[in-house]
Structure 1
Amino acid sequence: MKSAGADAKGILDYLRRNTGKKTQLRDVHNTVAKINRERRASTSDEQRTEALIREFCLISGNSACMFTNDGTSVIDVVCIQSARQKRLFRAFPEVILVDTTHCTNRNLYKWLLIFGKLMLLTGTIVHHSILERETETNLLLSIGQFKKENPSWNNVRAIVSDKDFNEKEVLAEAFPNARQLLCQFHVIARLRLKVGELADITIEKKQAVKASCHLMMKSRNAMEYKNHKDTMLRLLGGNSSDPFYKYSQANWELCKDEWVDYHRDNVPHLSNHTNNRIE
């Protein structure tokens, strides 16, 4: 009955009418789950994935595709998007959050998520991709499929990701009208970590340097930023050769337009400063 398309309530009604037993809905769910487990036991991950995707695509408006490596027959990318996700992105395309998760499955595939901002401080996932590896080629396939299924991609104006996201240039090239922004949560977390690892000062001064980094991020103009940066250097003993100061100059100064507030004020990010909600 399940294979013929009957839902759990339909199966329950049939069982009660034909057996006279007071079967419960949870019994039907448990039986269906047991049958599905038995069926899956005799199939490979690839076969089950293909079956699930085919079932998903039977629903009107849903789309999914798999990209397979011709040389190894390994599935490199799986892209999934429901009709509802397409409608939501079409209605609110201005800001997207992008991130990948790691070590969430036994095959070690990466899960690429695109999170759409529906309104101030609210949003939802609008695209799923599963990547065998987070390479430029695989990201191009995933983003390319997203653009193919969503013609309003050209209206994206801001993309929030973290500094660990590989191949950020893929996003910059794919969305030429969008500003690239860094997740401020990850920025300050990384800076605080590096202060502890690199700064050659006392613990008390390290705490003060961490506070200065946060104030630099929240600066409302260039003068505020310079003052907080000067304070940080003074706490480091005025030593521009301090390992942390050299690290911050090399890794964060040149991209401050992506993480410092006053550089982001003209970007329609809808007050969204982190992609942490994806995780």
Structure 2
Amino acid sequence: MGTGYRIRVASEGIKHNHKLSKLTFDRYPENRAVSDPVMLARVDAMRKSGAKARGILMYLREECANKATILKDIHNLMARLKASSNPGDTDADCAESVLRDLCEHDKGAVASLFVDSTRVLQTASFQSRKMRHLFAAFPEVLLVDTTFGTNVNRYKLFSFVVHDIHGKGQYVQHALMTSESKAHMKDAKKVVALCDGSQEHKQALKDIFAAMHPLFKYFLKNWDGITEEWVSYQRSNVPHLGNNTNNRIEAKWAKLKDLIRPSAGVYECLATLLGLQGICENEYEVELNKIGTFCLPKDDEYQCMDKRQLGELKQLANMVSMHAYDIINAEFKAALRVSTSYKICIRQDSVVELLNEDEKRQHLLSLEDFTCSCIFSQTQLLPCRHAFYYRRSTIAFAGTQFESIIPFKISTQGGVSNKS
């Protein structure tokens, strides 16, 4: 066509090139979509709480029976809702908005955000007010580990967990980071040989690696001579407070990942962590202030106790958490067994020595606060079997209200009170 040539449409005629029916109209994408503002708000709340697309679809099928919504529509709807709820242009802006909201509503909370020169988020961490209080109350054992697959940006999630008075793990800090502390990780090659005993184990390795494999040489040089530091059965006396692995933090991550999706953005991951942390804090407060009943089990060891000893255990159950009670109860029953025997010697005015001739071990017990030199007393900060045995065996405490178990005003100094 030459320059200046134009086409003018004088009239038009429109008609469908397919069959028209109500079924076709209802199945049209625009008509399948949910448009009710109330339903959209509910779907958005379900999406933020970690609901799956299929579960949302089942909910909408019940609430909107006249809609022929399919799974693809739900995925599109969730994507639109996610885009509309984005509080900023970049991950750093979104994360900053979430953390600022936390600090505004929780006056004792602290949060930090670090970005590089190009405004790319490097780290984001937070502690709520109750998380800080939990760490201040239980700083003795701190579990630290990292996990993956919590956000689409592949940031690593570092979590810090303490061991509370109920014997459970409680989060005290979360942090999202771009990488681990070391820039590079070296691959390790694992070689395994199965045998019946330690001598056979060494001989099997020598037979397999006749030319002294470098890994075997490294093992003999650096590990074989210090088995007491890493072999489980040789570390039976090492204090670990029930945390000989990262078992607690791994168990908590398993529950956390049920709600955090790998496709979530960094700010969504932070928002979900904050929501879950609020639930955990509420559960902890309910457990801490729970009122209930307690009955002593009818086992053989309880049947051998007299009424005074049973009464002491019942009073103990009202003083401490059930987790602390179970730990103290085990020590109490061990002290009352007929087979338990210690030789008591006075070392100083306020210190006595308890010697177990079978185990060839001696323990120093302070008579001022009944703390002991044993690993149990030093790590658990609870009265041990040596204190119970001494009080039961000494006439000075016979007939008193607390003949064997340490009085409440003394035991609270060791941190066993359920009001920690």
TM-score (ref. length: structure 2): 0.35
Residue 66 in structure 1 maps to residue 113 in structure 2: yes
Other-structure match for 1:248 = 219
Per chain length, whose mean CA-contact separation is higher, i.e. which structure has more relative contact order (CA < 8 Å, sep 6+)?
1
Per-residue Cα deviation, 1:109-134 (whole angstroms, up to 9, x for no partner) = 11111121225852122211111222
1:48 Cα deviation from its structure 2 partner: 1.3
Aligned with residue 233 of structure 1, among 175, 198, 202 = 202
Other-structure match for 2:142 = 96
Q: How many Å separate the matches in 1 of 2:230 and 2:165?
A: 21
1:55 Cα deviation from its structure 2 partner: 0.9
Residue 114 in structure 1 maps to residue 101 in structure 2: no
Distance 1:26 1:273, change over 3 A: farther
Q: Give the aligned CA root-mean-square deviation in angstroms.
A: 3.9
TM-score (ref. length: structure 1): 0.50
1:39 Cα deviation from its structure 2 partner: 2.9
Amino acid corresponding to residue 128 of structure 1 in structure 2: H
1:29-48 to 2 correspondence within 5 Å? 29-30=42-43, 37-40=83-86, 43-48=89-94
Q: How many Å separate the matches in 2 of 1:252 and 1:128?
A: 34
Cα contact 2:143–2:161 (8 A) shared by 1:
yes
SS at match of 1:194: coil
1:36 Cα deviation from its structure 2 partner: 6.3
Cα contact 2:126–2:173 (8 A) shared by 1:
yes
Other-structure match for 2:101 = 55
Other-structure match for 2:194 = 207
More displaced 10-residue stretch of structure 1: 80-89 or 257-266: 257-266
Q: How many Å separate the matches in 2 of 1:268 and 1:105?
A: 36
Amino acid corresponding to residue 43 of structure 1 in structure 2: D
Per-residue Cα deviation, 1:215-271 (whole angstroms, up to 9, x for no partner) = xxxxxxxxxxxxx3x442122246581455234346645775653346655553203
Cα contact 2:87–2:93 (8 A) shared by 1:
no
1:195 Cα deviation from its structure 2 partner: 2.4
Residue 85 in structure 1 maps to residue 131 in structure 2: yes
Q: Any gaps of 5 or more consecutive residues in structure 1?
A: 1-22, 138-163, 167-189, 197-205, 213-227
Distance 1:207 1:256, change over 3 A: closer
More helix by share: 1
SS at match of 2:194: helix
Distance 1:265 1:120, change over 3 A: farther
Question: Looking at CA atoms only, which structure, 1 or 2, has the larger radius of gyration?
Answer: 2
Aligned with residue 195 of structure 1, among 171, 191, 197 = 191
SS at match of 2:119: coil
1:274 Cα deviation from its structure 2 partner: 0.9
Aligned with residue 171 of structure 2, among 122, 125, 128 = 125
Cα contact 1:78–1:129 (8 A) shared by 2:
yes
Distance 1:234 1:96, change over 3 A: same
SS at match of 1:195: coil
Amino acid corresponding to residue 194 of structure 1 in structure 2: K
Other-structure match for 2:290 = none
Other-structure match for 1:271 = 242
Cα contact 1:93–1:116 (8 A) shared by 2:
yes
Cα contact 1:108–1:132 (8 A) shared by 2:
yes
Q: Any gaps of 5 or more consecutive residues in structure 2?
A: 1-35, 49-77, 251-420
Distance 1:42 1:80, change over 3 A: closer
Cα contact 1:77–1:131 (8 A) shared by 2:
yes
Cα contact 2:145–2:158 (8 A) shared by 1:
yes
Distance 1:250 1:275, change over 3 A: farther
Distance 1:41 1:94, change over 3 A: closer
1:54 Cα deviation from its structure 2 partner: 0.7
1:64 Cα deviation from its structure 2 partner: 0.8
Distance 1:260 1:76, change over 3 A: same
Cα contact 2:126–2:175 (8 A) shared by 1:
yes
